[in-house]
Amino acid sequence: MSKKIIFIILGCWMSMMFLFSNQNATKSNHTSDKVTISLIHLVGKFMGKTTGKAQEKKIIKNVRLLVRKTAHMSEYFVLAVLIFCLVSNYVSSNKKVFLITFICCVLFSIGDEIHQLFIPGRTGRIFDVGVDSCGILLGCILLTFIKHKTYKKKLQNIWKIKIIYFNFVIIGLFLGSIFIFLYLSFLFNICILMTRWRNVYYFSNYN
């Protein structure tokens, strides 16, 4: 993938992250709830389960924090993938690429949390930087592994190398999406069980 394309995608992605971060608390919660409802419906259809509005509200209340943190981790996973691919065009050492990518992404995360201090109803948290760092680390490790395996083949053709870099992004995003989907499916089932157990507990106590 060419440097210009990576720059454009990276610029768009960082702008999107900034816009989400710039939302006040009410808009941010509304956006999170809409995403959560969509995920509930998607996972429900995939698993052949349906939920009513009352149950949806309980699930949203239980998993809102988890969805927000998973979104944080996913955003920075993609950011790490893009920056890794960009830095790889200028630096050959895997260790240096890993380190530069990780530092740049963590600094962006810290700046994002500081920015949220000035948004009504939002707060900047060190915990969120830690969550973001998990996504960054996952992206860096994944692409370092792919790059290491690729360079073992010692490909000489420049066009093949460009295709491989493009595959870095596609494979990274694909594996990340699978990981996130499985993670959310797991959370969905846990929340369904928690809701059922809570209903059974209340029923047994009040009857």
Predicted confidence (pLDDT) per residue in 7-56, tens digit = 888 889 888 888 888 888 777 777 776 766 666 666 666 666 666 666 66
- Residue 177 belongs to what domain range? 3-206
For 65-122, what is each residue's pLDDT tens digit? 777 778 888 889 999 999 998 898 888 888 899 999 999 999 999 998 888 888 888 8
- What is the CB neighbour count within 10 angstroms for residue 121? 12
- What is the CB neighbour count within 10 angstroms for residue 204? 8
Place of tokens 């490909």: 155
pTM of the model: 0.66
Number of domains in the chain: 1
Contact 122, 25 (CB under 8 A): yes
Helix 53-88 to helix 94-116 angle, to the nearest 10 degrees?
A: 130
* Encoded tokens for 148: 């290491």
Whole-angstrom distance, CA of residue 113 vs CA of residue 128: 8
Phi, psi of 118 (to 5 degrees): -100, 5
Q: What is the CA radius of gyration of the chain?
A: 20
